[in-house]
Amino acid sequence: MVNNTRTNPSFDALIAVIKNQRALSDTDKNLIKKAYEYSQKAHTGQKRGTGELYFSHPYETAIKLAEWNLDTATVVAGLLHDVVEDTEKSIEDIKNDFGEEVAFIVNGVTKLGKLKYREASDKNDKKDLLAENLRKMILALSQDLRVVFVKLADRLHNMKTLTGVALAKRKRIALETTDIYSPLAYRLGMQSLAGELEDLAFPHIHPDEYKWILSNIKDQYDAQVKYLEKVKPIVAEALRKNNIFPVKIDYRAKRISSLYKKLHKQGVNFKQIYDLVAFRIIVNTIEECYAALGIIHQLCPPLPGKIKDYISLPKPNGYKSLHTTVFCLNKKITEFQIRTLEMHREAENGIAANWAYSQAKNSKNYLENKAVFANKKELQWVEQLKNWQKDFTDPKEFLKSLKVDFFQDRVFAITPNGEVIDLPAGSTPVDFAYNIHTQIGDQCIGARINSKIVPLDYTIQSGDMVEILTQKSKKPSESWMEFVKTGIAKRCIRASNKNKKGSLLLKDPLQTEIKIAASDRIGLLKDISTVISRSHINISRLNVPKTTALPIIRVICDTMNKERIEKLILKLKNIEGVKEITYRHVQ
């Protein structure tokens, strides 16, 4: 499990990987070359924790993106993804030197880099919810799946070089990887990446179990490999006799992380685990998949209930394959997986494998047309995206569009502890406060967003870090009803105000209604609201009648202090066009 990733970056090697997948124009090649040299230069003198040159990291990230057959903009963004975060260069520099599209992706990756996942709770259901919210937030912030791909490639290399990171940080990064990034890759249909990330994280999360599994598994694993080597020619011969010439027959070891899950869940011991290693047969057509399955069953009787047809009924993430477990040579239980080359590629790379880079390339307007990669019917991952709905709580959100802004109606904000709170778009700090706890909502007196004080009716943006300021004796203001978005906030404010009315102490009115009769003119309303806010009085409502003869403007203010109101009225009377002002306290 030791990953020796010491590499020598080479521009030619990167180009070779791309050309292995697709044709590359000279313009694209030159752009990649420019990014390659730009990144190399910007990271000069920086080293990775492993002692390697820093550039090896963006280089490996770009290689991975090229292997996934992503477009030139994504490969370029991979090379540049840490330039803004770790060097003197700004996102403006990237925009000037590489254009808006690359800058958009790099900026997205930089934003994601600021998210930190912390295990916020011991309760598993809560933990799952938090992780789910963070995954949604990653998608919402990304807006373009290419941002997620760069982030995943970045994370993969970081995991391979995790020993270069301080010990204390390793576990946090490993947990973030298994809880957030691996499931995200899985949802995107990138099974093999998901498994690889889990396996890389496993030793850091369960070091003792890892050692134990390694020492217990070794002999059995070796024995199984030896056995499969013996079986392989027999299977190949049987297929050949039936005119099936597989692209490949090989076997793969079960992932340590999934082995651990199995042991943990089923409480079985190692002697009972017969599928440490499974056969994988890759053929040319779907018909051959079923034919091969039949031939194997003729050769060795299948275990009942172990035949799985993921071709007719793919897994929710789009995975297709036939699985069967049989009594093989000497009655040994052996697992077979049968699939076409296309299914195999999809299982490896998921949505990335179906990336329509030509479309993205042809669309200059990709920012306005975020659906660039979802227009063609033949893109199977559209199916996968539809399948996601099973995994997410609100399926309507998903079907509304196949763009990456599935979450356009939601915003995801973070608490100072790193918890992600999922809110409807347009939510305010008051909604945020009530979503954390009723008491925090009730006692809310102010909010800081990304360390800056904001008004309570501020509209929260995805990615905002929200800190709620509270005061013990504070009661919620009815005026909050004017701007809150969530049901929970509305219910709590109403409930609290109802209680107030019932109590003798709080019978006094809380707000003042000021009626201003004025002859209308352009700028009148602005002048009125400027005067009020200069007096540091909060306007909770401002009504202007539709008829304009002599309009009466009603302003509800959040104060009932007579002195302040009278002072305010004097100032209001000085506004041009104002004829008459009356006021009364309201409840």
Of 152-160, 303-311, 482-490, 553-561: span binding Mn ion (CB under 5 A): 152-160
Look up tokens 């299914």; give the residue.
343
Task: Identify the active-site residue in 52, 82, 86, 378.
Answer: 86
Task: Identify the active-site residue in 37, 60, 82, 85.
Answer: 85
Q: Which is nearer to Mn ion, 86 or 442 (CB)?
A: 86
Give the shortest CB-60-to-Mn ion separation in angstroms. Answer: 10
Is residue 429 within 8 Å of 460, Cβ to Cβ? yes
Tally Cβ neighbours within 10 Å of residue 370.
Answer: 19
Give the shortest CB-106-to-Mn ion separation in angstroms. Answer: 11
- What 3 state SS string does 489-516 have? HHHHHHHHHHHHHHCCCCCCCCEEEEEE
| Residue 60 interacting with Mn ion (CB under 5 A) | no
Look up tokens 């990138």; give the residue.
190
Of 149-157, 193-201, 216-224, 286-294: span binding Mn ion (CB under 5 A): 149-157
Quote the CA–CA distance of 414 and 503 in Å, as a whole number. 36
Pure H helices in 420-463: 429-436, 438-442
Q: Which structure tokens are listed for 145?
A: 């799946």
Of 13-21, 41-49, 68-76, 81-89: span binding Mn ion (CB under 5 A): 81-89
Bridge partners (DSSP) of residue 410 are: 424
CA distances from 513 to 476, 562, 581 (A): 19, 12, 10
DSSP summary character for residue 370: G
Give the shortest CB-58-to-Mn ion separation in angstroms. Answer: 7
- In terms of phi and psi (left: phi > 0; alpha: psi -120 to 50; beta: otherwise), the region of 418 is left
Give the shortest CB-156-to-Mn ion separation in angstroms. Answer: 10
Quote the CA–CA distance of 99 and 39 in Å, as a whole number. 15
| Residue 198 interacting with Mn ion (CB under 5 A) | no
Could you give the count of Cα atoms lying within 13 Å of 252 in the half-sphere of its Cβ?
13
Q: Which is nearer to Mn ion, 78 or 318 (CB)?
A: 78
Of 82-90, 92-100, 219-227, 355-363: span binding Mn ion (CB under 5 A): 82-90
| Residue 82 interacting with Mn ion (CB under 5 A) | yes
Q: Which is nearer to Mn ion, 161 or 512 (CB)?
A: 161
Report how many helices (DSSP H) and strands (DSSP E) the chain contains, helices first: 24, 14
Of 76-84, 221-229, 236-244, 306-314: span binding Mn ion (CB under 5 A): 76-84
Quote the CA–CA distance of 166 and 352 in Å, as a whole number. 32
Give the shortest CB-82-to-Mn ion separation in angstroms. Answer: 4
Q: Which is nearer to Mn ion, 64 or 339 (CB)?
A: 64
Q: Which is nearer to Mn ion, 78 or 463 (CB)?
A: 78
Could you give the count of Cα atoms lying within 13 Å of 197 in the half-sphere of its Cβ?
28
Q: Which is nearer to Mn ion, 112 or 411 (CB)?
A: 112
Of 146-154, 169-177, 208-216, 451-459: span binding Mn ion (CB under 5 A): 146-154
Quote the CA–CA distance of 28 and 22 in Å, as a whole number. 12
Give the shortest CB-57-to-Mn ion separation in angstroms. Answer: 6
Quote the CA–CA distance of 216 and 212 in Å, as a whole number. 6
Is residue 540 within 8 Å of 557, Cβ to Cβ? yes
Q: Which is nearer to Mn ion, 82 or 335 (CB)?
A: 82
Q: Which is nearer to Mn ion, 74 or 133 (CB)?
A: 74
Give the shortest CB-139-to-Mn ion separation in angstroms. Answer: 19
Give the shortest CB-4-to-Mn ion separation in angstroms. Answer: 20
- Strand 466-470 and strand 539-543: the pairing is unpaired
E strand or H helix at 5: none
Q: Note if 368 is an active site residue.
A: no
E strand or H helix at 464: none
Residue of 19, 57, 15 whose CA lies nearest to 32: 15
Of 151-159, 166-174, 351-359, 367-375: span binding Mn ion (CB under 5 A): 151-159
Q: Which is nearer to Mn ion, 82 or 179 (CB)?
A: 82
Count of residues making up the chain: 587
Q: Note if 348 is an active site residue.
A: no
Q: Which is nearer to Mn ion, 81 or 344 (CB)?
A: 81
- With contacts defined by CB under 5 A, how many residues of the chain interact with Mn ion? 2
**Mapping DSSP to helix (H, G, I), strand (E, B) and coil, where does residue 51 land?**
coil
Quote the CA–CA distance of 35 and 364 in Å, as a whole number. 20
Give the shortest CB-45-to-Mn ion separation in angstroms. Answer: 17
Is residue 322 within 8 Å of 338, Cβ to Cβ? yes
Give the shortest CB-76-to-Mn ion separation in angstroms. Answer: 15
Bridge partners (DSSP) of residue 250 are: 280
- Interface residue with Mn ion among 52, 101, 144, 154 (CB under 5 A) is 154
Which residue is at the shortest CB distance from Mn ion? 154
CA dihedral of 313, 316, 320, 324, whole degrees rounded to 10: -70
Sites of contact with Mn ion (CB under 5 A): 82, 154
Positions marked catalytic: 85-86
